Structure 1
């Protein structure tokens, strides 16, 4: 099992490292540059250059069944789920086969509404409650991934 992190704008990198170290699990922080190497023997920084979604493509190309992913990117979450991985977003929302379709549809609708000017607000600011929800959810994801591997 490996934890893949869509790291460019991830607000829970430190929490991922804590959980990954506790579970002694390899972590790959994938980005397009500008991040420092995570300070953990279990973590590696993967810098992917190229087109806009190069980091997403790299994750989708390397992730597999039983792996774990952390991303707020709904299309990437969909690709990872299709590869058999288990995931969570930085606010603690579990990505599942049951909810990814609705999440994609909502994302696409909101994109269309923003383009027409009907919606101008974005997500609420990330806060301590989100961080706590993430940690709780990440532990559940790690247990589920371990059970899936067994």
Structure 2
């Protein structure tokens, strides 16, 4: 099993939690992004840089992730695709996406996209807070303990 990180939009504090957990658990962890980023020296953490373009990083994760892997992403369509492959998907705020809740999340995402495209302003996500970071760390620890 492995951890895949949709790293383009992953907040730095969440990456730091992932780095520490990957080394502690000796878990293969791969960050995927279309821009360069620093990762700590570790035999368990890898970085894959992809070309810029719509869903290029997401597509690589979908192709390479295997059943039982954990995918960390705030991208709901990506989460849906990897759940269909038998992966688990966790967002940076600690919410676990499941077969039971992903369709509702996709519908809400599409609804808000429709509102924005018709000119209605919607609020963005609230800033990441300490509770979010703790919830994320707890869910990551649960996954690591189960494997």
For 1:73, the equivalent position in structure 2 comes to 75
State the TM-score, normalized to the length of structure 2: 0.93
Tell me if 1:125 matches 2:130. no
Q: Distance in 2 between matches of 1:119 and 1:102?
A: 21
- The answer for unaligned runs of 5 or more in structure 2 is none
Tell me the SS of whatever aligns to 1:141: helix
- The answer for unaligned runs of 5 or more in structure 1 is none
Q: Is the 8 A contact 1:21 1:40 kept in 2?
A: yes
Question: Please, which moves more after superposition, 45-54 or 95-104?
Answer: 45-54
The runs of 4+ residues in structure 1 deviating greater than 3 Å are none
State the TM-score, normalized to the length of structure 1: 0.91
Deviation at 1:50, TM superposition (A): 4.4
Q: Distance in 2 between matches of 1:110 and 1:32?
A: 26
Q: Quote the RMSD (CA, aligned, Å).
A: 1.3
For 2:7, the equivalent position in structure 1 comes to 7
Q: Is the 8 A contact 1:56 1:76 kept in 2?
A: yes
Distance 1:141 1:73, change over 3 A: same
Tell me the SS of whatever aligns to 2:38: coil
Alignment of 1:132-143 (within 5 A): 132-143=134-145
Aligned residues: 145
Q: Is the 8 A contact 2:33 2:50 kept in 1?
A: yes
Tell me the SS of whatever aligns to 1:39: coil
